[in-house]
Amino acid sequence: MESAKLSMEDKLALITQNLQEVLNPEIIEAVLKQDRPLCIYWGTATTGRPHCGYFVPILKIAQFLQAGCKVKILLADIHGFLDNLKAPIELVKFRAEYYRFVITALLKAVRVPIDRLEFVLGSSYQLTPEYTMDLFRLSSVVTEHDAKKAGAEVVKQVENATLSGLIYPLMQSLDEEYLKVDAQFGGVDQRKIFALAKEVLPRVGFKERAHLMNPMVPGLQGGKMSASDPDSKIDLLDTADAVRKKLRKAYAPPLEVEGNGILSFTEFVLLPAGFLKYGQQKFVVERRDAEPLVYTDIKQIHEDYKNDVLSPQLLKPAVTEALISLLEPIQAEFQASAEWQEIEKKAYPPPPVEEKKKKQKKDKGSKYPGGAAAKNVETQPDGSVEGKDKKEVSVGEDGGAAAMEKLNLKK
Instruction: Give pLDDT tens digits for 286-316.
Output: 999 899 999 999 999 999 999 999 999 999 9
Q: Is there a single domain that holds both residue 169 and residue 85? A: yes
Whether 207 and 244 map to the same domain: the answer is no
Separation of alpha carbons 272 and 295, rounded Å: 11
Give residue 369's pLDDT.
52
**Same domain as 265, residue 210:** no
- Provide CB contacts within 8 A for 128, sequence distance 6+: none
- CA distances for 246 relative to 231, 241, 262, 334, angstroms: 7, 9, 11, 21
Residue 275's pLDDT band (cuts 50, 70, 90): confident
Annotate 353-379 with b (16+ C-beta within 10 A) or e (fewer). eeeeeeeeeeeeeeeeeeeebbeebee
Q: Does the pLDDT of residue 194 top 90, yes or no?
A: yes
Query: In angstroms, rounded to a whole number, what is the distance separating the alpha carbons of residues 156 and 88?
Result: 14
Helix (H) or strand (E) holding 243: helix 240-249
Whether residue 383 is predicted with pLDDT greater than 50 in this model: the reply is no
Q: pLDDT tens for residues 329-352?
A: 999 999 999 999 999 999 999 887
How many other β-carbons are positioned within 10 Å of the β-carbon of residue 217? 23
Q: Are residues 114 and 162 in the same domain?
A: yes
Q: Are residues 311 and 191 in the same domain?
A: no
Asked if residue 151 lies in contact with residue 190, where contact means CB atoms within 8 angstroms, the answer is no
What's the confidence (pLDDT) of residue 291? 96
Residue 350: its pLDDT value, please?
A: 86
Q: Is the pLDDT of residue 154 over 70?
A: yes
d(CA 101, CA 387): 75
At residue 250, the pLDDT reads 87
Same domain flag for 74 and 191 = yes
Q: What's the mean pLDDT in 307-327?
A: 95
Domain shared by 267 and 198, yes or no: no
- Alpha-carbon dihedral 386, 389, 394, 399, rounded to 10 degrees: 40
Of 291, 321, 347, the residue at which a domain comes to its end is: 347
In a domain, 92, yes or no: yes
Per the DSSP assignment, residues forming a β-bridge with 214 are: 187
Phi, psi for 342 (deg, rounded to 5): -65, -40
DSSP for 193-224? Answer: HHHHHHHHGGGGT----EEEEEPPPBPTTSSB
pLDDT band at 364 (very low <50, low <70, confident <90, very high): low
* 123, HSE (Cβ side, Cα atoms, 13 Å): 15
Q: What is the mean pLDDT of the chain?
A: 85
Q: Could you list the residue range(s) of the whole structural domain that residue 304 is in?
A: 240-347
Whether pLDDT at 188 is above 50: yes
Is the pLDDT assigned to residue 394 strictly greater than 70?
no
State how many domains the chain has. Answer: 2
Task: Give the end of a domain, one of 320, 347, 374.
Answer: 347
**Selection from 18-32, 50-64, 99-113, 220-234 with the highest mean pLDDT:** 18-32
Average pLDDT over residues 189-207: 96
Distance, in Å, from the CA atom of 13 to the CA atom of 336, rounded to the nearest integer, reads 38
pLDDT value, residue 399: 46
Cα–Cα distances (Å) from 397 to 149, 230, 401, in that order, read 81, 68, 9
Q: What is the CATH number of the domain that holds 143?
A: 3.40.50.620
Whether pLDDT at 365 is above 80: no
Looking at the structure, tell me whether residues 337 and 265 fall in a common domain: yes
Is the pTM of the predicted complex or chain greater than 0.85? no
Q: Would you state the pLDDT for residue 245?
A: 92
Q: What is the CATH number of the domain that holds 267?
A: 1.10.240.10
The answer to whether residues 11 and 94 belong to one domain is: yes
User: What end-to-end distance do the CA atoms of the chain give, in Å?
Assistant: 112
- Residue 178 has a pLDDT of 98
Picking from 300, 332, 347, the residue at the C-terminal end of a domain is 347
With bands split at pLDDT 50, 70 and 90, how would you rate the model's confidence at 106? very high
Q: Are residues 276 and 210 in the same domain?
A: no
User: For position 1, what pLDDT does the model report?
Assistant: 52
